[in-house]
């Protein structure tokens, strides 16, 4: 495998299913839609972070770490998954929650992911400046120094590891190989992949993995945090790092990095009518639950692509479900304030 040279622990339930979505395909009048169910990776409600953490924690184990440190937004899936992984493997963990999202109801700060972090009894630190990635990481590394002074061996999983190897992306290099096997088993030719693009690790890892395997299928990333110019630069820089790590330098060009900030709306974690309707449509037609921060934004982007005739009806499009289900409980307005047409979507 492409990632065999890297330390890894088993956390994710893999392979995850690759399933058709015939009802949603019919409702949208578009291509044949498939869904890669990475919401089914296990580890405290699953999600893409389980694959990523296998490599971070593998590296931590080789370095003799006895405590993990990481940071993320209040409803961070990564933070929840890191705590779950630490508990599973018997490692201590401290987390930092950032106040990135304003204007939310009280449930946003107490239900869903933050509730699960408290249930797993991880010490929580708070960082008030929500869009300051470098500052959030500095606070994390400062805490690591305090722990070192107390005789601990901390391992930091930073928010913006542009100066650190993006080990988590290796989880999606490996997932690309899994998808290749899925398609061979199903005798399925894929015309496009669609996913949410946030930190860039999932996007970069999958793109590098596919290109390293000689697969030229486009990967469309829908922005969930920053505009498409900034996101394209972020993803490309990360793909270059990942490609170098696995010995496939140059397998990705800037032209391969396809991002769109159309569904982003007013910003990270904020609802729009299109996002709201994407959640309702997918739940109504397939019984599949999406979250407002990541997966529903990428689904909203896919729905827009289909509406504008981006795909032929004969195409096969794979939507990568990256998890995030617990965050739904931080958005009670999803059922209190349904947009027009959401209760009985067509």
Q: Is the dihedral of CA 56, 58, 63, 69 positive or negative?
A: positive
What torsion do the CA atoms of 303, 304, 306, 309 make, to the nearest 10 degrees?
170
Query: Quick one: CATH architecture of 62-163?
Result: 3-Layer(aba) Sandwich (3.40)
3-state secondary structure 143-183: HHHHHHHCCCCEEEECCCHHHCCCHHHHHHHHHHHHHHHHH
Give me 188's structure tokens: 């399925």
Per-residue pLDDT of the chain (346 residues; tens, 9 = 90+): 999 999 999 999 999 999 999 999 999 999 999 999 999 999 999 999 999 999 999 999 999 999 999 999 999 999 999 999 999 999 999 999 998 888 889 999 999 999 999 999 999 999 887 667 788 889 999 999 999 999 999 999 987 755 688 999 999 999 999 999 999 999 999 999 999 999 999 999 999 999 999 999 999 999 999 999 999 999 999 999 999 999 999 999 999 999 999 999 999 999 999 999 999 999 999 999 999 999 999 999 999 999 999 999 999 999 999 999 999 999 999 998 654 444 444 4
What pLDDT does 103 receive?
86
Show me where the domains of the chain are located: 18-47+166-336, 62-163
What pLDDT does 128 receive?
83
Main-chain phi, psi angles of 342, to 5 degrees: -80, -30
| Domain 18-47+166-336 CATH class label | alpha beta
Quickly count: other Cβ atoms within 10 Å of residue 102's Cβ.
Answer: 10
Catalytic residue among 25, 76, 197, 201: 76
What pLDDT does 109 receive?
94
Which of these, 127, 124, 95, 130, lies nearest to 268 by C-alpha position? Answer: 130
Q: How far apart are CA 88 and CA 92, in angstroms?
A: 10
Q: Is the dihedral of CA 248, 240, 55, 205 positive or negative?
A: negative
User: Catalytic residue at 199?
Assistant: no
Model pTM score:
0.94
Asked, colleague to colleague, whether 18-47+166-336 and 62-163 share their fold, the answer is yes
Query: Helix (H) and strand (E) counts for the chain?
Result: 12, 10
CA distances from 178 to 15, 48, 51, 222, 308 (A): 7, 14, 12, 22, 31
Asked if 326 and 45 count as a contact pair (C-beta separation under 8 A), the reply is yes
DSSP character at residue 12: S
What pLDDT does 344 receive?
45
């Amino acid at each position: 495998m492409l990632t065999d040279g890297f330390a890894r622990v088993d956390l994710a339930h893999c392979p995850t299913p690759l399933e058709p979505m015939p009802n949603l395909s019919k409702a949208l009048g578009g291509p044949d839609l498939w869904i890669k169910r990475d919401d089914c990776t296990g580890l405290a409600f699953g999600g893409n972070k389980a694959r990523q953490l296998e490599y971070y924690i593998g590296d931590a184990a080789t370095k003799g770490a006895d405590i993990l440190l990481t940071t993320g937004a209040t409803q961070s899936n990564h933070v929840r998954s890191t705590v779950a992984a630490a508990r599973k493997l018997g490692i201590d963990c401290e987390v930092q929650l950032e106040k990135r999202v304003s204007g939310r109801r009280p449930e946003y700060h107490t239900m869903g992911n933050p509730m699960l972090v408290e249930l797993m009894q991880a010490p929580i630190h708070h960082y008030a400046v929500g869009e300051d990635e470098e500052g959030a990481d500095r606070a994390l590394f400062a805490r690591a120094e305090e722990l070192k002074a107390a005789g601990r061996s901390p391992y930091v999983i930073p928010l913006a590891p542009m100066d650190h190897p993006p080990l988590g992306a290796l989880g999606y290099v490996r997932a690309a190989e899994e998808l290749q096997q899925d398609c061979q088993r199903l005798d399925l030719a894929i015309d496009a992949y669609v996913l949410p693009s946030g930190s860039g690790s999932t996007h970069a890892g999958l793109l590098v993995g596919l290109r390293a395997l000689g697969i030229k299928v486009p990967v469309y990333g829908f922005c969930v945090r920053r505009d498409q110019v900034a996101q394209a630069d972020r993803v490309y820089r990360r793909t270059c790092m990942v490609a170098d790590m696995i010995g496939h330098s140059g397998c990705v060009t800037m032209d391969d990095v396809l991002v769109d900030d159309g569904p982003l709306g007013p910003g990270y974690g904020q609802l729009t009518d299109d996002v709201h309707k994407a959640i309702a449509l997918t739940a109504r037609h397939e019984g599949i639950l999406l979250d407002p921060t990541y997966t529903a934004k990428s689904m909203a982007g896919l729905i827009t692509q289909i509406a504008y005739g981006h795909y032929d009806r004969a195409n096969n499009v794979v939507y990568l479900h990256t998890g995030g289900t617990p965050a739904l409980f931080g958005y009670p307005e999803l059922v209190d304030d349904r947009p027009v047409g959401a209760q009985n979507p067509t």
